[in-house]
Chains A and B, each alone.
Chain A
Amino acid sequence: MDPASAPFDSALIPKGVKRCQLKWFLLWIAVLNGPLMVGTVAALMCWGLALNVTNLSNNYPFGLWIAADLGIIALGAGAFFTGFLRYIVKIDDLKHIVNYAVIIGVVCYASAQGILGIDIGQPLRGWFIFWHANVHSMLTEVAFCITCYFMVLCIEYLPLILENRQVYKLGFFHGMAHHLHEAMPTIAAIGVFLSFFHQGSLGGVPGVLYGRPFAYREGFLVWPWTFFLFILSAIACGPCFTILITRITEGFARKRLVKRNVIDILAKISGRLLVLYLVLKTLDTVYWIAMAGKVGAPLSSFYANQPYGYWVLITELGILGVIPAILLLIRKTRQNDNVLILACVLNCAGIFMNRWIMTVQSLAVPVMPFDRFISYHPNWVEYASTFLFVWAGAIVISLSYRYLPIFSQEKELNPL
């Protein structure tokens, strides 16, 4: 690269790749900081003025934050699942995307924990979930596993940071990165174990609520069927989210970063898992309709109040389930870039919708016979404090893409 046209911070940029001028990058970060500041103000309002600044109420103790939390963690499942496929199933080609999957995972899990820090009424007491843990609660299992898994993700992210061009020169960090890579299969296996449980426990959170026939599921031992369905849906949409973010990054970078066969592997696996999930989810839905009817909660009572009409069921399983599954299974559609993006968006949206349904709609459905339906929609404070983490995540991803050697195929696909 011509030294005159090299970016000002080129000493930090990986060798053999091209990045835009520093001034454009800083402008991009400044642009992201705008809505990030709005989100920060919203978060400070929640902490300073208490949660009355939101649209949450005693009828809706869970709202956008909790639905977003569950959704983000489902989308972040690409990290552990790609790691599982790479290090344990040993699909070697995935080594070209596993680094990025880890970064996406770090952003997702940090965001989830951040949102929780705003959502709980007494954030300073958040550690009580560890100190006074109730081992029978699904939420305790969630907190433990997510915290541990976030540590695992940070450990997986660490070698990428240590491989920054300047950091790597330091002998100790060089060695540390090398040995962490050696230990990666063990770390990935721990990550898979933890992820299995927290993805499942997040399904258990609504599934154990026998006071809410809409959410309640029977199951296997202490685990309701939603435990297993959430794991399956997470691994079905996680890789799609990874593909989506990679394609968005490629769009911004205006170059290919990963070979198409790598994307194709993830898309194919995602499609097959989505089909399996839809089959089991349909069986579960049929069984649920029968069981809920036995406690005097007929299906019609669940969909009697708009906006939660029958269209919700059709959209979740049909438009956002069957359609992306078909698109991902058929090779011709899967290998068409635009159709693949559409399939990934529909898939991820479907799983996000499922999380909303299991949390917010569960609370929307009246249980007592003389309860009236009350509707809920998030207000700007909830939207802003949730999207705060999207902007923050975009900054982290931007910094990682610019300064860390994430994409091993970038040089090959974009010779200078």
Chain B
Amino acid sequence: MFPFAFEWLNDPVHFVFMGSLYTVLILLIIILHYCGIRAFLDLICKKEGHDNH
């Protein structure tokens, strides 16, 4: 599954296949984190906004 595994081979099939998997997983993690952080920042800004008022 990973390049350090003994069965790993540096061939196009491995690069494309596993590369796609890693890309998708990283993208999904980034999207979730992005939404979470934005939501958190919105919450803070909203609170600060209320405090200012």
Contacts and interface: CB of A to CB of B under 8 A. Distances in A.
Interface of A: 130-133, 135-136, 140-141, 144, 148, 151-152, 155, 171-176, 178-180, 182-183, 186-187, 190, 193-194
Interface in B1-48: 1, 5, 7, 13-14, 17-18, 21, 24-25, 27-28, 31-32, 34-36, 38-40, 42-43, 46
A132 B7 contact: yes
Interface centre among A148, A175, A178, A190, by most chain B C-beta atoms within 10 angstroms, is A175
A148 B1 contact: no
Contacts of A151: 28
A180 to B, nearest CB: 5
B40 to A, nearest CB: 6
Nearest to A159: B35
Contacts of B35: 176, 179-180, 182-183
Interface of B: 1, 5, 7, 13-14, 17-18, 21, 24-25, 27-28, 31-32, 34-36, 38-40, 42-43, 46
B1 A130 contact: yes
| Interface majority SS (helix, strand, loop, mixed), chain B | helix
Given A130-B1, A190-B27, 17 more contacts: A133-B1, A136-B13, A140-B17, A141-B17, A144-B17, A144-B21, A155-B28, A171-B43, A171-B46, A174-B39, A175-B38, A175-B39, A178-B42, A179-B38, A182-B35, A183-B34, A186-B27
Nearest to B13: A135
Nearest to A162: B39
- Nearest first, the 8 A-B pairs at minimum CB distance are A175-B39, A179-B35, A176-B39, A175-B42, A135-B17, A171-B43, A179-B38, A148-B24
Contacts of A174: 39
A152 B5 CA distance: 27
B34 A179 contact: yes
B28 A152 contact: yes
Contacts of A131: 1, 5
29 contacts: A130-B1, A131-B1, A131-B5, A132-B7, A133-B1, A133-B17, A133-B18, A135-B13, A135-B14, A135-B17, A144-B21, A148-B21, A152-B28, A155-B28, A155-B32, A173-B39, A174-B39, A175-B39, A175-B40, A175-B43, A176-B35, A176-B36, A176-B39, A179-B38, A180-B35, A183-B35, A187-B28, A187-B31, A190-B27
A174 B47 CA distance: 14
